[in-house]
């Protein structure tokens, strides 16, 4: 005979208590499992969010740093460019020492003229050097040129005041006073630099003689007394200026300059035995900046670094 079926509720109190206890334990385990899974999901969610925030923060920080660096670089570049421009605009090129040539009349050689040292002659300190002033009053012919020379300290690019500058050059026919023309003393003179380190001479555009590019000689002394003392060579700098070829060609073509046109066509500044061995920067610094016309005359300027 089949066994009679006994319902759970007929099993008694002990069975009921055991069943309740077991179900409560299973419920706790289920809740524990669910709780662990939820916490894990929560931790994963927080961890992912944290990494994302950290990454964003790092990216933002990197972007900020990059921007800052770019700005700094731009500023530095601008400063560098500014510095370079300022240095380039200042004429601080050291002038090379050049020969004073065979016709200086500065007491270092002799000549057949009335003096071999024009620097000791009365009247040599003058602005307009077109006329003779020793034993003649002849005025040199030629196209007028007003020349302003600025003397700078080549280290600090600051003007040198109170210095004396002696200049001399040939006439329109390529001749020198006191040598080729013993009785003449024109196209020679001394000026003292002002507070801007400047002197101005009124003269003529020099001619061009065979074997040389058109030029003007000059000597720099620390003072007028040093220049005119007559105690021998005390010049701080002895050098030369080059006259622009294009200007010379225009002036010579107008007439009155002898063989200068032919001589000029056979010369160049780079092959000249004085200018040719200098640097490009030195040649540029030694070349006069000129403007004007044959009829109105020319103005010229140049800066000397010592």
pLDDT in tens, 228-279: 987 667 899 999 999 999 999 999 999 999 999 999 999 999 999 999 999 9
Assess whether pLDDT exceeds 90 at residue 127: yes
**Per-residue pLDDT tens for 60-69?**
333 333 333 3
Q: Is the dihedral of CA 18, 22, 28, 32 positive or negative?
A: positive
Q: What is the pLDDT of residue 72?
A: 30
Rg (CA), the chain: 46
**Per-residue pLDDT tens for 222-232?**
999 999 987 66
**196 or 154, greater pLDDT:** 196
The total of other beta-carbon atoms located within 10 Å of residue 106's CB is 24
Assess whether pLDDT exceeds 80 at residue 305: yes
**Per-residue pLDDT tens for 176-231?**
999 999 999 999 999 999 999 999 999 999 999 999 999 999 999 999 999 998 76
Of the candidates 272, 296, 255, which has an alpha carbon nearest to the alpha carbon of residue 287?
272
Lowest mean pLDDT among 46-60, 86-100, 182-196: 46-60
Lowest mean pLDDT among 1-10, 93-102, 241-250: 1-10
Q: What percent of the chain has pLDDT over 90?
A: 63
Average pLDDT, rounded, for the chain: 79
Q: What is the pLDDT of residue 232?
A: 61
Global pTM reads 0.71
Q: Reduce the secondary structure of the chain to three states and give it as a string.
A: CCCCCCCHHHCCHHHHHHHHHHHHHHHHHHHHHHHHHHHHHHHHHHHHHHHHHHHHHHHHHHHHHHHHHHHHHHHHHHHHHHHHHHHHHCCCCECCCCCCCCCCCECCCCCCCCCCEHHHCCCCECCECCECCCCCCCECCCCEEEEEEEEEECCCCEECCCCEEEEECCCCCCCCECCCECCCCCCEEEEECCCCCEEEEEEECCCCCCCCCCEEEEEEECCHHHHHCCCCCCCCEEEEEECCHHHHHHHHHCCCCCCHHHHHHCCCCCCCCCCCCCCHHHHHHHECEEEEECCCEEEEEEEEEC
Q: Give the start-to-end residue ranges of the domains of the chain.
A: 11-89, 118-305
Give me the mean pLDDT over the 135-143 stretch: 97
Give me the mean pLDDT over the 35-39 stretch: 44
Quickly state the pLDDT bin for 91 (edges 50, 70, 90): low
Assess whether pLDDT exceeds 70 at residue 19: no
Residues 6+ apart with CB under 8 A from 48: none
Assess whether pLDDT exceeds 50 at residue 44: no
Give the integer Cα–Cα distance in Å for 247 and 145: 11
Q: What angle do CA 127, 131, 133 make, to 5 degrees?
A: 90
Q: What is the pLDDT of residue 59?
A: 33
Give the integer Cα–Cα distance in Å for 186 and 79: 50
Give the integer Cα–Cα distance in Å for 190 and 109: 19
Give the integer Cα–Cα distance in Å for 233 and 217: 15
Q: What is the pLDDT of residue 102?
A: 94
**Per-residue pLDDT tens for 166-175?**
999 999 999 9
Could you tell me the CATH superfamily of domain 118-305?
Aromatic compound dioxygenase (2.60.130.10)
Q: What percent of the chain has pLDDT over 70?
A: 69
């Amino acid at each position: 005979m089949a066994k009679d079926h006994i319902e759970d509720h007929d099993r008694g109190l002990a069975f009921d208590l055991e069943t309740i206890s077991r179900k409560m334990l299973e419920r706790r385990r289920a809740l524990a499992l669910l709780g662990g899974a939820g916490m894990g999901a929560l931790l994963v969610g927080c961890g992912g969010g944290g990494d994302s925030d950290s990454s964003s923060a790092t990216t933002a920080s990197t972007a900020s740093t990059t921007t800052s660096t770019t700005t700094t670089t731009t500023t530095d570049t601008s400063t560098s460019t500014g510095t370079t421009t300022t240095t380039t605009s200042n004429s601080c090129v050291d002038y090379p020492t050049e020969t004073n040539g065979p016709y200086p009349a500065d007491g270092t050689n002799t000549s057949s003229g009335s003096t071999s040292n024009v620097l000791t002659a009365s009247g040599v300190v003058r602005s307009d050097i077109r006329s003779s002033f020793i034993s003649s009053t002849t005025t040199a012919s030629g196209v007028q040129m007003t020349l302003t020379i600025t003397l700078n300290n080549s280290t600090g690019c600051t003007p040198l005041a109170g210095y004396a500058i002696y200049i001399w050059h040939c006439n329109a026919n390529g001749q020198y006073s006191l040598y080729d023309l013993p009785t003449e003393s024109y196209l020679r003179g001394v000026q003292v630099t002002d507070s801007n380190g400047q002197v101005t001479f009124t003269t003529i555009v020099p001619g061009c003689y065979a074997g040389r590019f058109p030029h003007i000689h000059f000597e720099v002394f620390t003072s007028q007394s040093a220049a005119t003392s007559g105690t021998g060579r005390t010049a701080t700098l002895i050098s030369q200026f080059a006259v622009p070829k294009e200007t010379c060609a225009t002036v010579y073509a107008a007439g009155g300059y002898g063989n200068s046109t032919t001589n000029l066509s056979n010369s160049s500044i780079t092959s000249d035995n004085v200018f040719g061995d200098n640097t490009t920067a030195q040649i540029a610094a030694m070349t006069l900046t000129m403007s004007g016309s044959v009829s109105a005359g020319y103005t010229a300027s140049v800066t000397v670094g010592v």
